[in-house]
A and B are shown apart, each in its own frame.
Chain A
Amino acid sequence: MGIARLRSKIFQVAAGIAAVSPLFVLLFVAVVLLKDALPAFRYQGFSFYTGLTWNMGNAYANNVVVHNGVQAAPGATFGILPFIVGTLASSLIAIVIGVPISLLSAFALVYKVPPRLAKWISPMVELLAGIPSVVYGLWGVIVLAPVIANQVGPWLAKLGSVIPFLGGSIGSGFGLLTSGIVLAVMIIPIITATSRDLLAQVPKLPIEGARALGMTSYESMRHVALPLAKRGIIGAIILGWSRALGETMAVLMVSGNASNYLPTNLYSPISTMASTIAALLDSAMNDATSLSIHALALIAVTLLVITMLTNLLARLLVQVGRRDIGTEG
């Protein structure tokens, strides 16, 4: 009796700790990052977000400049607009390419592929989601970048006179489009697996009703199954988008590591916020004033905020979508 009560007590305490831990981890990360990032903001102000130039200054100079009470290496200026643009643009390309493919795969796995075959294909989707990002990055370097540079790029560039951002110099194949495609390949398994499970849970009866009314399988998916699974699928897309926003290694390998200017077309080299943090960490350590490290922390805070905002925005969209159930007449 005593043992059982003790066990129950332990379980209750453990469950309680587990329940509140996400909040505490988030608070801890946010507080530490904010504290670390503050000097960079005091030094640079809002031009941190509008500036195009990222320069950690002369780390070997003997003199130290002081601005707003913060010490910095001479010539140091931190502007991350190119990184923000690179992050948003590459992740949006990933979403645009990845979402339709993911939803079609999920739909096919649930409704079209014979169950016996789906039993074999479905686990492969999870397998794809588990491949380390550096492997995707290497694929991007060896296979995708040359294809973009030599085949896809020249072909797309012909449309440049009609559609902005498609024309202009194609470059080496390392840049925005390649990053976006690699990210798309990485988020497709995540969105596919989640939406597949959601579609499989949609009640069969309304779909049968639609089929019995003489709707095609596409029409019943589009008008009946998808609306029933919509909230969850938007959640799955956000999950994929968050992954694309924060992806570091694969993007670092194929982005072309550009800084100090904004992408001029679809093939321009870029950097994202996450890849910049990884790429510049080593040299930032050489900054005796530590301001470069603080600046990288401020990038991390910004990334955190952007990820939270996209989450919030998507949740808002779902709310609005629920209120308007799309009536006619």
Chain B
Amino acid sequence: MTSDMVAVDQDLVELTPAELKELEAVLTGGRIDVVTAEATKSSVIQVKGLSAYFGHKQVLNNLNLDIKEREITALIGPSGCGKTTFLRTLNRMSHSVPGFRHEGEVSVMGQDIASVKDVESFRRKVGMLFQRPNPFPMSILDNLTLALRLFGVSKKERLEIAKAKLDEVGLYEDLKDRLHHSPFALSGGQQQRLCLARALAVEPRILLLDEPASALDPKSTRMLEDLFMRLAEHMTIVIVTHNLAQARRIAKRTAFMEAGEIVEFESTHALFTKPNDPRTRVYVEEQIG
């Protein structure tokens, strides 16, 4: 806790006036004013008229939204509403499903995903974390360094990156003597943090999280959420979650989706306290109970 406080203090020096204002708002218990915060942030993902199909079945219908850089955006909605498909469209994972096609424009870091030629390089900039931890069948260290090795990073550098990323996700102290062991003996929470470190090792600018804590206990979930908040200081995070409390805790803005459409996209606070659309209100009330 104390080390966190120190970190905040040091960061204060480098904050822009707008960020300072934002921080002030948080510290004084006031709500962050999305409009003023937005002024300093540009959209890193722009979606215009996105529709998507699996064969003849339409799964996304005319989505429009802008996702701002360096903040957490949550996608919520009932199962089958298309939020995961949307998330996986952003790094072209949906496109590997036979029969998938999309219409409309999805611009990720200024590049239209339809025109991505080198999918592999593109995906290095857009990391992903899945519903369940998915370590590779190799040692903890190799999990972190495999992709770097394939991309031609030197061995010395790989080791440094691996250690730095393990440290970043708070695993280094626990695992430093077990780097050559199998990751499958770790707890679910540790495995998921290892997978996060693995995704971070290739230095993505955007992180896509597909219900990353749905298989974890509350303590591990909180630990991950703290990590996401810290990461959002320098990267853009989009999270799909069924856990509305989670969206409330960590997301600055939240989109509610239903039946392949975005019903409402608002600041998280507004969406949960005074939803504009009756469908949002019903969903939020039912979920919170």
A residues sitting closer than 8 Å to B (CB atoms) are 114-116, 203, 205-206, 208-216, 219, 223-224, 227-228, 325-329
A-facing residues in B89-137 (Cβ within 8 Å): 91, 93, 96, 98, 119-124, 127-128, 130-132, 134-137
A-B contact pairs, 6 of them (CB 8 A): A206-B134, A206-B136, A214-B121, A214-B123, A326-B139, A328-B155
- A113's nearest neighbour on chain B, judged by CB, is B98
Contact status B98-A114, CB under 8 Å: yes
Given the complex of chains A and B, what is the CA–CA distance between A109 and B122 in angstroms? 27
Most A C-beta atoms less than 10 A away, residue of B135, B138, B155, B159: B138
Cβ 8 A contact of B139, one of A115, A203, A216, A325: A325
Q: How many A-B residue pairs have CB under 8 A?
A: 90
Contact B137 A213, beta carbon cutoff 8 Å: no
Instruction: Contact check, B202 vs A205: say whether CB atoms are below 8 A apart.
Output: no
B237 within 8 A of partner (CB)? no
* Interfacial chain A residues near B155, Cβ < 8 Å: 328-329
Least CB distance from B38 to A in Å reads 29
Which residues does chain B contribute within 8 Å of A326, judged by CB atoms? 138-139, 142
Contact A228 B137 (CB under 8 A): yes
Cβ of A212 and Cβ of B137 under 8 Å apart?
no
Identify the closest chain A residue to B93 (Cβ): A212
- Closest Cβ of chain B to A26, distance in Å, is 34
Do A205 and B179 contact each other (CB < 8 Å), given the known contacts A211-B93, A328-B155?
no
The listed residue (A205, A219, A228) touching B130 by CB distance below 8 A is A205
A328 and B135 in contact, given A208-B93, A211-B96, A212-B93 (Cβ under 8 angstroms): no
Known: A209-B195, A327-B142, A329-B155. A215 touches B137 (CB 8 A): no
B268 in the interface (beta carbon within 8 A): no
Known contacts A115-B98, A211-B93, A212-B127; decide if A206 and B137 are in contact (CB<8 Å).
yes
Say yes or no: is B145 at the interface (Cβ < 8 Å to chain A): yes
Considering the chains assembled together, what is the distance between the CA atoms of A216 and B137 in angstroms?
17
The answer for the CA separation of A328 and B198 in the assembled complex, in Å, is 16
CB atoms of A214 and B93 under 8 A apart: no
Bound form: Cα–Cα A235–B119 in Å: 35
> Do A213 and B142 have beta carbons less than 8 Å apart?
no
Residue B250 is within 8 A (CB to CB) of chain A in the complex: no
Establish whether residues B93 and A213, one from each chain, have CB atoms under 8 Å apart when the complex forms: no
Residue-wise, chain B 185-198 has the 8 Å CB interface mask toward A (1 for contact) of: 00000000001001
Q: How far is the CA of A223 from the CA of B180 in the complex (A)?
A: 17
Tell yes or no: B288 within 8 A of A by CB. Answer: no
The answer to whether A215 and B120 have CB atoms under 8 Å apart is yes
Give the nearest-CB partner of B180 in chain A. Answer: A327
| Assembled-state Cα–Cα distance A264/B106 (Å) | 65
With an 8 A cutoff between CB atoms, is B231 at the interface? Answer: no
Q: Knowing A114-B98, A115-B98, A208-B130 touch, does A213 contact B138 (C-beta < 8 A)? A: no
Contact A227 B138 (CB under 8 A): yes
